[in-house]
Amino acid sequence: MAAPTTTYPPGTTFWETPDYKGIEMRNLNICLTVISTVVCGLRLYTRLIMTKTGGVDDIMSVVAWAFVVVLAGFDFISVRFGSGAHTELVPLATLIKFFSFLATQNLLYFWVVAVVRLSIVAFLPRLNKDRWYLYSVYSVGGVIFVQTVVCFFYKLTECTPIKDVWAPPFQPGLNCVSTAANNGMMIGHSVIGILVDLTLIILPIVVIYKKMILSRQVIQIILVFTVGIFVVITGVVRLYLIVTLNFANDSTYKMSTIGLWTDLESHVGYWVACFPALQPILKMISYKLGFRSKLTSYGDTTTSNTKATPGTSRSVTRSKHGYLRSSNGVDATDTDSDSQKGIVSTTSADHAIELGKIRKVTETVVRFDQPHVVESDDRRYQESWANV
């Protein structure tokens, strides 16, 4: 390890310098953890109480929340070991603990971002049941899993014996892969992650564009999913830092930079994963605050040629929370307070789409030589756009 410099007076502790970043890192992680916890709570309230449409994606969301909170906890504790301070000021015993802690944190990072992305993958089948779409979603999930396993075990076995992974890099006699090889793996992981994030944005937009009539409402729905671009931005910034910063020099201080963007990548990714599911409660809040004139965003008028489906009429009442409910406790399907929504208007008798869900009704008329008409039963193609 390089000899200490004389930049600071003798006896200066690592948290006493003007450019110490440890407090900022600690405060950031507290704020991110609080926000993610609130988002998780609101999602569960929306899905389990408001709309009663909980699913596997909600379970994955809770698991993802636990992972991002644990990662934030690692960053929080690492401040005690000199994270955010200049390496020359960190005592040797503390520095050894920092690198040991960092090794565990690096291994955890792979699974944090993987679980956050997999929570989105678990959520996307709510949108559409077409075979091509489901195959695409599950393929992305497979890429995420394989990428995570490969990178995790590469990082875990980069030193021989494995226990040396937790040793400080300046310890003599280490038999580990080169820094360049390790950086190459991290760059590859980041590039694949960015491509996966882009795919997770594009897939729902494509299916909504194909299944719904282009309108102002459809544009609003698409904008809900394009918030995922913020995750891509954080991933790109983090990739840039990996490529440009030399972490072998003043590692503890530079962790305040890469650590910040690592935290943002995981937490912002989690918020984006939950955002579509929060639409009902966001609409209710905006209604309560007077930003909306009604919970139903779109007209209630129907086309005279539209064929009514028996059994679909419901008695709709307003609950004490202010959103519309059906008699069975589930949000009424004729309002967009429902968490499973497709928002389009009916355009014709042959192709009608309910406001409560993306519902395509096709009527087939078969004519024979004799004046007899046979109507097939209504074939309903139902899709929910991600419980938003």
DSSP structure class, residue 47: I
Q: What is the CA radius of gyration of the chain?
A: 26
What confidence tens digit (pLDDT) does each residue in 292-320 have?
666 554 434 333 344 344 444 444 444 44
pLDDT of residue 40: 96
**Is the pLDDT assigned to residue 211 strictly greater than 90?**
no
Distance CA 129, CA 59 (A): 20
Tell me the two tokens of residue 91. 């005592």
Between 342 and 214, the more confident residue is 214
Average pLDDT over residues 36-51: 94
Cα distances (Å, whole numbers) of residue 254 to 27, 64, 178, 251, 261: 17, 27, 20, 5, 12
pLDDT of residue 210: 80
**Is the pLDDT assigned to residue 100 strictly greater than 90?**
yes
Query: How many CA atoms, within 13 angstroms, populate the side-chain half-sphere of residue 263?
Result: 26
Token pair 């840039």 in the structure block, residue: 240
Percent of the chain with pLDDT over 70: 70
Distance CA 105, CA 113 (A): 12
Distance CA 93, CA 82 (A): 11
The CATH number given to 22-276 is 1.20.1070
pLDDT of residue 260: 87
Average pLDDT over residues 109-132: 93
Average pLDDT over residues 33-61: 94
**Mean pLDDT of the chain, nearest integer:** 77
Distance CA 140, CA 264 (A): 22
Average pLDDT over residues 207-223: 69
pLDDT of residue 204: 86
Cβ(278)–Cβ(39) below 8 Å = yes
Distance CA 169, CA 152 (A): 19
CA dihedral for 164, 165, 170, 176, sign (positive or negative): positive
What is the model's pTM?
A: 0.73
Q: 270-279, 282-291, 364-373 — which is least confidently predicted?
A: 364-373
**Is the pLDDT assigned to residue 30 strictly greater than 90?**
yes
**Is the pLDDT assigned to residue 250 strictly greater than 80?**
yes
Between 300 and 195, the more confident residue is 195
Tell me the two tokens of residue 108. 């955890």
Q: 74-78, 274-278, 328-332, 354-358 — which is least confidently predicted?
A: 328-332
**Is the pLDDT assigned to residue 39 strictly greater than 90?**
yes
**Is the pLDDT assigned to residue 360 strictly greater than 80?**
no
What confidence tens digit (pLDDT) does each residue in 138-181 have?
999 999 999 999 999 999 999 999 999 999 998 898 999 998 89
Tell me the two tokens of residue 65. 């929340």
Both ends of the chain: CA-CA distance in Å? 54
Distance CA 73, CA 267 (A): 13
Q: 55-59, 63-67, 261-265, 347-351 — which is least confidently predicted?
A: 347-351
What are the boundaries of each domain within the chain?
22-276
pLDDT of residue 248: 79
Q: 61-65, 195-199, 272-276 — which is least confidently predicted?
A: 272-276
DSSP structure class, residue 176: B
**Is the pLDDT assigned to residue 370 strictly greater than 60?**
no
pLDDT of residue 383: 39
pLDDT of residue 301: 38
